[in-house]
Amino acid sequence: MKTTKQYNLEIIAGPCSITLENVNEIIDEIAPITTPYGTRAIYGARVVGLKSRTALPSDGKGIGLDYSVINEALSLSEKERKKLLLPSLTLAEKIYKKTGMVIASEIMLPHIQLPFFERAKLNNHVMIWSPAVNQLGWNILEMSNYAHRNKWHLGIKHAKFLGKDPLEVANHPDYKDETSLEKTLLGLTTYAQKGKGDLIIIHRGVDVPGRGDFRNALIHEVMRRVKTHIPHAKLYFDPSHSYGPKLKDKIVDGIIEAMKLTHNNTFLYDGVLIEVGTSPSDTEQHITTKELQELVNKLSTFRKLRSPK
């Protein structure tokens, strides 16, 4: 009987969107979490200053701490933008200086946001990812070039759609066809042509009939097929956007179950991207720092966790 290889599991945790009020939660409560063996357990921090939203509120509320600066930058030349500072990156520098954690952020406007990241004092400890609402390859290509130049990690969140077949059919182990999600996701990875850091695929569930109380239905079997086609990529699980508010009390156990899944003699998932603490957006699907410690304790019984440098 083959044994499952032990790979260090990467946990990236933090609020849905960063604020002046919750930055100390990351530094004082999330970053210090350790395994029962005394090693630090949280590899990276979510520091998202601009949110992806279906509709743009006229007052900009819920869009993120960086909204007003980004909105101003859109009308300025590249030279003029250099005079601006992104509030989220000021907080990111503080987090990195005090914790050494990788700074992870969702990117909507690469040509506007990423030059700010290049100027930030983060020692290349950065992971950027594309949102599920944006499945445009050219954005991935642009992000890939920045990632290559700066040795950042590049993440791609798959789309909310699945395809023509019902969930129970498309997500079955014996399903032989290629769903629309897989076709699009595999296509997007071809735009990630360069990279000195990791390429990361992020499973965030799909919005389909039959999902029940899940915000977005889990498709672990589809992710197995994706990993077969992209063996060089890491696979992360985003339980916050799949379990959602109605199943928040199931998130910890759901992660444990997912992190035990195997594929080709190794674990299926290489990381977890999870919302923790308080936030002005989506707080109802965050777990608490106490629950994060509980999660770490349980994961440590069968997975090795990667510590920040």
Structural domains in the chain (count): 1
Instruction: Say if 228 falls within a structural domain.
Output: yes
More confident residue, 102 or 59: 102
Instruction: Say if 91 falls within a structural domain.
Output: yes
Instruction: Say if 293 falls within a structural domain.
Output: yes
Lowest mean per-residue pLDDT among 11-20, 55-64, 121-130, 232-241: 55-64
In contact, 204 and 158? CB cutoff 8 Å: yes
Note the pLDDT tens digit of each residue in 256-273.
999 999 999 999 999 999
| pLDDT beyond 60 at 1 | no
More confident residue, 52 or 243: 243
pLDDT-derived band at 114 (thresholds 50, 70, 90) equals very high
- Quick one: 74 exposed, middle or buried, by C-beta within 10 A (0-12, 13-18, 19+)? exposed
Instruction: Say if 136 falls within a structural domain.
Output: yes
- pLDDT of 7: 66
Work out the widest C-alpha separation in the chain, in whole angstroms. 62
Classify each residue of 159-191 as buried b or exposed e, where b means 16 or more C-beta atoms within 10 Å of its C-beta.
Answer: bbebbeeebeebbeeeeeeebebbeebeebbeb
- pLDDT of 3: 43
Instruction: Say if 171 falls within a structural domain.
Output: yes
Instruction: Say if 30 falls within a structural domain.
Output: yes
More confident residue, 140 or 195: 140
- pLDDT of 4: 44
Domain that holds residue 43: 8-305
Identify the CATH number of the domain in which residue 226 sits: 3.20.20.70
Nearest one of 132, 134, 133, 137 to 189, comparing CA atoms: 137
- pLDDT of 189: 96
Note the pLDDT tens digit of each residue in 25-35.
999 999 999 99
pLDDT-derived band at 2 (thresholds 50, 70, 90) equals very low
Instruction: Say if 108 falls within a structural domain.
Output: yes
More confident residue, 291 or 62: 291
Instruction: Say if 1 falls within a structural domain.
Output: no
- Measured distance CA(169)–CA(220) in Å, rounded: 13
